[in-house]
Structure 1
Amino acid sequence: MTQHANSYYNASSHPQPDYPRLQGELKVDVCVVGGGFSGLNTAIELAERGLSVALLEARKIGWGASGRNGGQLIRGVGHGLEQFTSVIGSEGVHQLKLLGFEAVEIVRQRIERHNIQCDLKWGYCDLANKPADLQGFAEDLEELRSLGYRHELQLLQPGQMRSVVGSDQYVGGLIDMGSGHLHPLNLALGEAAVAQSLGVQLFEQSQVTRIDYGPRVKVHTAQGQVQAQFLVLGCNAYLNDLNPELGGKVLPAGSYIIATEPLSEEQARQLLPQDMAVCDQRVALDYYRLSADRRLLFGGACHYSGRDPQDIAGYMRPKMLKVFPQLANVRIDYQWGGMIGIGANRLPQIGRLKQHPNVFYAQAYSGHGLNATHLAGRLLAEAVAGQHSAGFELFAKVPHITFPGGKHLRSPLLALGMLWHRLKELV
């Protein structure tokens, strides 16, 4: 029986109920595959609209990226949205930017409405590695204000950086009080409880082995079968071979986190004086924050090779010490990694299969999964329930290429491409 990764989140999680395996035959309106944020939030939104839902998770609820990510809740969906102007127009790009704000609000509202205890803390700062980054932040700030972003924003000059991060690595920053950080596994567990309370039937250790497409979809596991009018695939980086068409459009990329021993109040205040989540601007970015018990959770090193480092702590600790050399004698208590889903254009892929219009999907959040999954859940539910969903139609219009090289060459080819971008950073 598969259990959660040996992460800080697993060690500090609320009680984890064991949901049953699927056994026998079940008939529902909608079958959702994937027990992460995409699946859970789609299920919640569907149940709130009166549809019967069964959710199948191959391992444990929140087992994948949803339960082991950096815990950073950051505004926005996608990167460089202007690239889609030729497909959805300037008004469509404008709407995508507004949906990036709405995505965070959906998380905020879900947590507040259901009183989910997940250490939610507001405050985030983008960190500039070079002057060009800071100029970009100034432009971002003006755009956010022009879009009506209602949360506090502050551009930081080099001399102000110590107010946010106790390091000399950065030349500026952009504070956003409408973004923040939280305990992702506890959020997933809380949302599973919400889904169950709404009548969603949750199944764990129930890996899908085959899908029979048709007017009514049949979804098979080792010991059972779900018949449904609609199917939602929310597996992201762990889709594997379940649907080759979708699998070819998302690349699993490894991301890794270490957690220190609990720090003293003084140590924590020196590192992150305002207890914000932060992220730098490099291709192989660093992101970090403090946990509720004052551990530094330091993550990054997005790997496209398909192979995890043998010693994650040995790999990540030098990166942490480059930023915070004062932690040289601090113990690392936890080390873990997992796969995030990357799309070629870095926009979440939300849509339905052309040849099977009763099959919907969401994947490839490219590092913005905590908020974008919640948005995807709402848009998918609107579309499945037959409601007009301008947001769903907008995402569905954007084409997504299949990564070249097939299953075995996709990762090496992308790793080569990312190396090129990293070399350009050094120029």
Structure 2
Amino acid sequence: MQSHADSYYAASAHSVLDHPALHDNLEVDVCIVGAGITGCSAALNLAERGYKVAVLDSHKVGWGASGRSGGQMIFGYACEQHTLKKLVGDTVGRQLWDISIEALTQMRQRIDKHNIHCDLANGHLHAAVKPRHMKELESWANSLRQDYGYDSLEMWSKEQVRGQMSTEAYLGGLYDSASGHVHPLNYTLGLAQAAAEAGAQFFEYTPATRIEQGEHPVVHTPHGVVRCRHLLLCGNAYLEGIAPDIERKIMPVGTYITATEPLGEERARQLIANNMAVADINFVLDYFRLSADHRLLFGGRVSYSGLDPVNLADSMGKRLRHVFPQLKGVKQAYTWGGYVGITMNRAPHFGRLNGNVYFAQGFSGHGIALTGMAGSLMADAIAGSAERFDLFSRIPHHDFPGGRLLRTPALVLAMTWYRLRDLL
């Protein structure tokens, strides 16, 4: 049995509660498979409404991407709004945009309401590495202001970026004061604690080995079954064979983060004066931010093979020092990774397998806020207000080509093209 990944987040978690494994048969209103942000959010929302809820996880609460990610809470979707509008049209595109902005507000409200200590900080910069990025960012900002009234954006010149960051790596960027960053594991654990206090039951080290659909779905586990009226599949990249029809729509992709030793407040703020989160806009991107105890958390690299890259810490360190060469000689205290679930079009994939089996997956690395909203929308649907959840079913999704065995090499070939484009 695996506990949390050996990460900075696990080492700095405020409290990791132990929930029992399921060793009995159980009957509930709602069974949730996956105790990440999506599952915990749904459990909280449903328990607060009086539903009897059981949450199952193969490992610990927050073990997957929810407890390992870069922690960047950003507006919109991974596919970007112009792509989403092409997929669903202007009207639905606008409704989906509004949901993404509401997700940021909801996240802040939950942190405040439930007193979740997760190092919430405001501000995010999309950074330009090359001249064409500046043109893309400016066009993007103008579209979001004019078409959606999103007025928290500022285009920054290279000098403005240098005023906030001690690096020559960027030509400018698009700053958003409404986005931000959090400690993702502490946020997830806080949601789970709030849900448990509201009456939801959590069972760790309890994998769902098989599901039966029908009027009363049944979830089989190694030592018991759960019968329910509604089933929520919130495992994303970690569903592991229990729902092939939707698993074919996503690809588990490895992504990685390294954390320096503590730098001290003065040195850390010399790197990022305003404590914003940063991500460049290459397809294979670098992203980074400061932790509450003044480390630099630097993410990037991807793996499509299911294997961690060779010499991972060294390669992450080289990327880190490319952006901040003044950190030469600084030790890396933690390096870790995990899977995110991406879709072919990078748009999220929500829907139903039938009337009472719901799923949300494929956040494509853009899920800190949206996963929480996904859980709330599924809870709303169960309670009888499904209109907003069902909007996401308007987004067309396709299987990754090649099935489970061949989709990885097919994707590697496609990603090689995007990596070459990043160099141009």
With the shorter chain as reference, the TM-score category is over 0.9
Q: Does 1:119 align with 2:116?
A: no
Q: Does 1:398 align with 2:395?
A: yes
Match of 2:150 in 1: 149
* Matching of residues 178-257 of structure 1 within 5 Å: 178-257=178-257
**Alignment TM-score, normalising by the size of structure 1:** 0.96
Q: Secondary structure at the match of 1:347?
A: coil
* Matching of residues 413-424 of structure 1 within 5 Å: 413-424=410-421
- Counterpart code for 2:363: Y
Offset, 1:299:
0.3
Root mean square deviation of aligned Cα:
1.4
* Matching of residues 78-97 of structure 1 within 5 Å: 78-85=78-85, 88-97=88-97
- Counterpart code for 1:423: L
Distance 1:120 1:40, change over 3 A: same
Q: Secondary structure at the match of 1:266?
A: helix
**C-alpha distance in 2 between matches for 1:69 and 1:83:** 24
**C-alpha distance in 1 between matches for 2:184 and 2:45:** 19
Distance 1:380 1:242, change over 3 A: same
Match of 2:3 in 1: 3
* Matching of residues 17-416 of structure 1 within 5 Å: 17-85=17-85, 88-146=88-146, 147-149=148-150, 152-353=152-353, 356-389=354-387, 391-416=388-413
Q: Secondary structure at the match of 2:253?
A: strand
Give CA-to-partner distance per residue, 1:171-227, whole Å, 9 cap, x none.
111111101111111011111110001111111010111111111011011111110
Is this contact kept in 2: 1:230–1:358, CA < 8 A? yes
- Counterpart code for 2:133: D
Is this contact kept in 2: 1:59–1:206, CA < 8 A? yes
Distance 1:297 1:83, change over 3 A: closer
Offset, 1:149:
2.7
Give CA-to-partner distance per residue, 1:361-387, whole Å, 9 cap, x none.
000100111011011111111112211
Distance 1:86 1:123, change over 3 A: closer
**C-alpha distance in 2 between matches for 1:345 and 1:306:** 21
Is this contact kept in 1: 2:57–2:205, CA < 8 A? yes
Offset, 1:85:
4.2
- Counterpart code for 1:148: G
Offset, 1:87:
5.3
Is this contact kept in 2: 1:6–1:336, CA < 8 A? yes
- Counterpart code for 2:303: H
**C-alpha distance in 2 between matches for 1:3 and 1:366:** 24
Is this contact kept in 2: 1:285–1:302, CA < 8 A? no
Is this contact kept in 1: 2:160–2:172, CA < 8 A? yes
Runs of 5+ consecutive residues of structure 2 not aligned to the other structure: none
**C-alpha distance in 1 between matches for 2:14 and 2:200:** 20
Is this contact kept in 2: 1:76–1:103, CA < 8 A? no
**C-alpha distance in 1 between matches for 2:283 and 2:143:** 23
**C-alpha distance in 2 between matches for 1:87 and 1:421:** 21
Q: How many equivalent pairs are there?
A: 423
**C-alpha distance in 1 between matches for 2:149 and 2:47:** 32
Distance 1:87 1:323, change over 3 A: closer
Give CA-to-partner distance per residue, 1:17-42, whole Å, 9 cap, x none.
10011121111111000010111111
Is this contact kept in 1: 2:303–2:309, CA < 8 A? no
**C-alpha distance in 2 between matches for 1:279 and 1:83:** 20
Q: Secondary structure at the match of 1:370?
A: coil
* Range that drifts further, 274-283 or 139-148: 139-148
Give CA-to-partner distance per residue, 1:295-345, whole Å, 9 cap, x none.
000001122222112432112111111111111110110010000110001
**C-alpha distance in 2 between matches for 1:100 and 1:184:** 18
**C-alpha distance in 2 between matches for 1:387 and 1:421:** 40
Is this contact kept in 1: 2:41–2:375, CA < 8 A? yes
Q: Secondary structure at the match of 2:55?
A: strand
Give CA-to-partner distance per residue, 1:99-121, whole Å, 9 cap, x none.
12111111111101111000001
- Counterpart code for 1:241: G
Distance 1:247 1:388, change over 3 A: closer
**C-alpha distance in 2 between matches for 1:290 and 1:128:** 20
Identity of aligned residues (%): 47
